[in-house]
Amino acid sequence: RRELIVAIDGPSGAGKSTLSKLLARALNYTNIDTGAMYRCVALAAFRRGIDPADEESLGSLGRSVRIEFLRSNGGERVLLDGEDVSAAIRTPEISLLTSRVSACLAVREAMVELQRRMGEKGGVVLEGRDIGTVVFPGAEAKFFLAASAKERGRRRYEELCAKGHDVDLAQTVSEVEARDAADSAREHAPLVQAPDAVAIDSTVMTIDEVLAVMLEEVRKRR
Ligand code: C5P
């Protein structure tokens, strides 16, 4: 049995985080949420008052922040320079800012380097937008997880409500659409499906159904 690199890419709200965690657990692999890394850079930029158009400052910020994943019983925590920012990075404001910050090439270079270091030995599931295309184009198993924009917006809405955010469904759907449009249209590492990725549309599938498809594909490659 080989320890593979598994890539899960797709737009927001398609179920990447949920499936990535479940798949990693089922395979006894490490799960790496690359979106959380870009969110950390965005939060740090916001707190320091850095203009999202200031690429030079963003780049040096991206190279200097310390991002760690902590796996505890209460789930996975994200630490930014030692501080638990798991909740702070998931607000709607930081989500939109992250989309702008992640378009900066110097930020991407810094994150990609970290991601390659974390994943190069295999035994990892990485989820993001450019894992199968840029970070690990040689990943043994690649998935492109999609769902209709309406369904993705609804899922994000439920998620935010559950966390106590006061949000509006129509606005959440349009924010999700705006973020995907920006992620797909950007110059560096846009969101695209890798030619060798297995495409899964989760619109009308249960989590267990998607997980079963992924496990089967991974088993074929081990
Ligand atoms: O996956 P998540 O919604 O947490 O990602 C937040 C944002 O981070 C995305 O909208 C995208 O702009 C950026 N991102 C990226 N490349 C990745 C992962 C996330 O540009 N590999």
Residue 75: per-residue pLDDT: 82
Q: Residue 4 corresponds to which tokens in the numbers above?
A: 């593979």
Residue 173: per-residue pLDDT: 94
Answer yes or no: is pLDDT of 74 > 80: no
Name the binding residues for ATP.
10-18
CA of 128 to the centre of ligand 1 (A): 6
Residue 159: per-residue pLDDT: 92
- Per residue in 179-204, pLDDT (tens digit) is 999 999 999 999 999 999 999 999 99
Q: Return the closest-CA partner of residue 132 out of 191, 184, 203.
A: 191
The reply to whether the predicted model has a pTM over 0.90 is: yes
Residue 15: per-residue pLDDT: 94
C-alpha span between 222 and 219 (Å, rounded)? 5
Q: Return the closest-CA partner of residue 127 out of 3, 14, 2, 1.
A: 14
CA of 49 to the centre of ligand 1 (A): 21
Residue 188: per-residue pLDDT: 95
Q: What percent of the chain has pLDDT over 90?
A: 95
Residue 73: per-residue pLDDT: 76
Per-residue pLDDT band at 71 (split at 50, 70, 90)? confident
Instruction: Please state the atom number of ligand 1 nearest to the C-alpha of residue 115.
Output: 21
